[in-house]
Amino acid sequence: MEFTLIAMENVAFGYRLGTDCTEDILARLASHDASSYLVVADTTVAGLYGHDLTARIDKQVAPAHLLIHKVGEPHKSLSTVEALAHQALEQGIDRRAVVLALGGGVTGNIAGLLAALLFRGVRLVHVPTTVLAMLDSVLSLKQAVNATTGKNMIGTFHAPVEVLADTAMLRTLPAREVRSGMGEVIKNALAIRPSMLDRLGGSLRADAAYDDETLQWIIFESLAAKALVTAADMHERRSGLVLEYGHTTGHAIEHASRGAVAHGAGVAVGMIVAAEVSRRLGHAQTDLVSLHRELVAAAGVHPAVPADADITLVKERIAYDNKRGYLDTRPRHTPMVLLKAPGQVLHTGVLPLVPVPLALLEEVVDETTAPGAGPAAETTAA
C-alpha cells in the first residue's frame, strides 16, 4: 500500500500515512537529498526496525548511521542527547545530514532536540512507531528533555520537514502502549471532534487489537482534531490548551504511579474526573460523565484512579499542574479544561480554562478510586 498525504491547514510539513510502506519511506527520504541519515531509536525499536531500516537507507539512499538510546522516560535527558550528538559528529556528518526519529514520543523528543542542536539546526524527519507518537507528539514543534526537577524542562521549538507513519509498525506495540494512545484519541473526540464519537464508540477494543483500517481512521481523525485547535496556535498557549483535557489529574496519576500507569491511561481517568467536576459545578449533565466512563472502559482502561497510583500523591500533585499561571486564580484553585457537552469547551475570556476549587477536585479524585465505592465505579457497573 502507498502513503496518503494528509492535508493539514497551517501545518508547514507533510504528513504521510499508510500501511506496509517501507519502500515509500525510502523514496521520501531520497527526495530530501541528504548527505547522510542519522537514525535515532531506542534499544527495543532499534532491534525491531532500526537496524533493518538503517541498512536499507545506507544501501539505497545515502550513508546512514543508527544512534541508539536506552528505552524510557528516565533516559529522555540532556546527557542522552549529548552522547548521541558526539556519536553523530564522530561519523563526520555535515549540516546536510537528516535526523530520522524512529520510535515513540521519547525518541521523537530526543531526536528532535538533537536535530535542533546539531550545527544549530539540521532537518528532522519523524517515523513514529507508537499510536501516541503518530497522532500526538510528532505534530508538536516542542522538542524537550527532562531535568532532574521536572518533565520537558529543557528544550526548544524545532519543526520536522516530514512525518512518515506506517501503521504496520504498530503490530509489535504492546497493548498497554496502544491503550495509552487511545486515551488521547478519546480526548480528541470528546473535547474537539464529537463527530467521531459514534464510530469511535463502536471501534474501541478492550484487547487493543485494532486493524490497520481502523488505526488509519483514528489517526486521520485525531490529526484533524489537533490541527483544528493548533492552526492558529502552534505553541499551544491559547485555543491549543484544550489538548490538555484530562491532563491535570492524568499527569498527577502518571506521576504518582511512578510510570506504572501509562500517560494516556492517566489522561483517560483524568477526563472522567474532569467531567464529574464539570457536573458538580453545574455545567454538565450526568450523561456526559457516563459517556466518558463508557469510552474509557471500552478502550480497556479501568475507569477509576488505579491502585498503582498513591491517592495522597495524586492529590498533592494536582496542585502543581503546568496550567497554573494561565488564569489569575484565587488561592486553592487550579485552572482546568472542562466540557459542557462533547465538543463544547468552557472558556474564561479567550482561554479554554475554568478555575476549579482544589477541594472539589480532591473530593472527586477521592471518589474516583478503584475498585468499588464511589460514584465512578458504581455507574460503570450499572
Residues forming the active site: 142, 244
Tell me the window of 2-10, 43-51, 293-301, 336-344 that interacts with ligand NAD (CB under 6 A).
43-51
Please tell me whether residue 133 binds ligand NAD under the rule CB under 6 A.
yes
Site for ligand NAD in 293-352 (CB under 6 A): none
Nearer residue to ligand NAD within complex by CB, 3 or 276: 3
Euclidean distance between CA atoms 81 and 117, whole angstroms: 9
Beta-bridge partner residues of 279: none
Please tell me whether residue 216 binds ligand NAD under the rule CB under 6 A.
no
Please tell me whether residue 354 binds ligand NAD under the rule CB under 6 A.
no
Distances (CA, A) of 105 to 87, 141, 186: 21, 12, 18
Say how many C-beta atoms besides its own lie within 10 A of residue 364's C-beta. 22
Site for ligand NAD in 175-204 (CB under 6 A): 177, 180
Chain centre to alpha carbon of residue 208:
17
Among 73, 308, 363, 367, binds ligand NAD (CB under 6 A): 73
Please tell me whether residue 234 binds ligand NAD under the rule CB under 6 A.
no
Among 107, 249, 278, 380, binds ligand NAD (CB under 6 A): 107
**Minimum CB–partner distance for residue 131 and ligand NAD (Å):** 8
Nearer residue to ligand NAD within complex by CB, 212 or 366: 212
Please tell me whether residue 77 binds ligand NAD under the rule CB under 6 A.
no
Please tell me whether residue 140 binds ligand NAD under the rule CB under 6 A.
yes
Does an H or E element contain 239, and which? none
Chain centre to alpha carbon of residue 23:
27
Euclidean distance between CA atoms 273 and 371, whole angstroms: 15
Distances (CA, A) of 130 to 137, 148, 167, 182, 236: 10, 26, 9, 11, 22
Tell me the window of 87-95, 166-174, 354-362, 373-381 that interacts with ligand NAD (CB under 6 A).
166-174
SS3 of residue 295 by DSSP? helix
Euclidean distance between CA atoms 236 and 124, whole angstroms: 21
Q: Which three cell numbers stand for residue 190?
A: 470528546
How many chain residues bind ligand NAD (CB under 6 A)?
A: 30
Q: Which residues bind ligand NAD (CB under 6 A)?
A: 42, 44-45, 48, 71-73, 76, 103-107, 109, 129-130, 132-133, 136-137, 140, 142, 152, 169-170, 172-173, 177, 180, 263
